[in-house]
Structure 1
Amino acid sequence: MKKLFSGLCGLLLWQTASATEPNTAALFEHQLPRLHSDTTLDMRQLAGQPLLVVNTASHCGFTGQFEGLEALHQQYKDQGLRVVGFPSNDFNQEAKSEEEAAQVCFQNFGVTFDMAAPISVKGDQAHPIFKEITRQSGKQPRWNFYKFVIDRNGRVTEVFSSITGPESGRLKAAIEQVL
């Protein structure tokens, strides 16, 4: 009986571990247009780097977090962290045009980190990057400015809701763990 129990526990541990193994193709095998630009954000160039992935919006009570996200980018970029913003209108808070969204990010808040053109981040219409993030973490964005810390191996290590601001010590500690 003890051997059977031990075998079942091992099987359960293996299934749990394999369910959270990253699908790096789902995260990194994408080329997305950059926000209001003719250039492309090649996610393959980010493979092997720690990431802070954030779904953003231009007209949201949390939009001011762009300033703090830029501060995180400046603080940790020399240690390898890449901050990547993904505008989304899944919560009806995005600008009406990419030009307006770009103005909010780049002019109003001075964002220099990577920003993709708008995509969907939840449900059946979610971009494969966010489907993989949701699969790994068991959490999809419930609002704008959800933050996902991803290690060098493509594993989601921590998820922070909109309420957790970029200046949070918990967020910074999670980032420092993946550096």
Structure 2
Amino acid sequence: MTSVYDFSVLNQDKQAIPLDAYRGKVLLIVNTATGCGLTPQYQGLQELYDRYQNQGFEILDFPCNQFMGQAPGSAEEINAFCSLHYQTTFPRFAKIKVNGKEADPLYVWLKDQKSGPLGKRIEWNFAKFLIGRDGQVLERFSSKTDPQTLQESIENLL
């Protein structure tokens, strides 16, 4: 695989969505959880989405229950939580695994492109990958990185 556009992922209804549908956009790919101490980052992510979405920016949300079971529930329950508490409107996909033998191929590739605080391993929920319009990983941000600190990086790509 040579770019993010080479992958397909499952939406919440388990239908394959080619990431080529996002070709030419700046992407922020995030593994999320609804029961994590970092869950309030949804607010900052939504603010970024509101600010830049009309300029070709998309956030791709991948719920992940791998870290202490902090993303329990069905797709409907996760959506209801995010809508009610954070009014999120960016695309959310099916729950995935980001580490280990069952890691989603997209995340295997993302981690191969940019290491993080624990090397290739995703350290926790809300790790972030910034993808340029050419489909290449440009930056990786730790789980603890406040979404608002990404504004300059995003603006430079838009």
Q: Secondary structure at the match of 2:109?
A: helix
Say whether the 8 Å CA contact 1:41–1:114 is kept in structure 2: no
1:41-56 correspondence to structure 2 within 5 Å:
41-56=17-32
Distance 1:48 1:140, change over 3 A: farther
Which sits farther off after the overlay, 158-167 or 128-137? Answer: 158-167
CA shift digits 1:112-139 (9 cap, x unpaired): 0010010111122111111110010023
Quote how far apart the aligned CAs of 1:40 are: 5.9
RMSD of aligned residue pairs (Cα, Å): 1.9
Given residue 154 of structure 2, which amino acid in structure 1 is its aligned partner?
I
Q: From 52, 57, 69, give the equivalent of 2:45.
A: 69
Give runs of aligned pairs for residues 1-179 of structure 1, distance below 5 A. Answer: 23-24=2-3, 27-34=5-12, 37=13, 41-91=17-67, 92-138=69-115, 139-168=120-149, 171-179=150-158
Over the matched positions of the two proteins, sequence identity in percent amounts to 37
Equivalent residue pairs, number? 153
The SS at the match of 2:147 is coil
Partner of 1:14: none
In structure 2, how many angstroms separate the alpha carbons of the residues matched to 1:28 and 1:165?
29
Distance in 1 (alpha carbons) for counterparts of 2:121 and 2:27: 17
Counterpart Cα distance in 2 of 1:72 and 1:40: 26
TM-score, normalised on structure 1? Answer: 0.78
Q: Which runs of 5+ in 2 are unaligned?
A: none
Q: Distance in 2 between matches of 1:94 and 1:68?
A: 19
Kindly provide the CA deviation profile for residues 28-81 of structure 1, in whole angstroms up to 9, marking residues without a partner as x. 4314123xx587644220122110111000100011111110100011111101
Q: Distance in 1 between matches of 2:15 and 2:129?
A: 24
Q: Distance in 1 between matches of 2:53 and 2:79?
A: 21
Deviates more, 1:112-121 or 1:91-100: 91-100
| Contact 2:29–2:60 (CA under 8 A) maintained in structure 1 | yes
Cα 1:87/1:134, change in 2 over 3 Å = same
Q: Which has more radius of gyration?
A: 1
Q: For residues 41 and 114 of structure 1, what CA distance do their matches in structure 2 show?
A: 11
CA contact (8 A) 2:5 2:18 kept: no
CA contact (8 A) 2:98 2:107 kept: yes
Matched residue SS, 2:28: strand
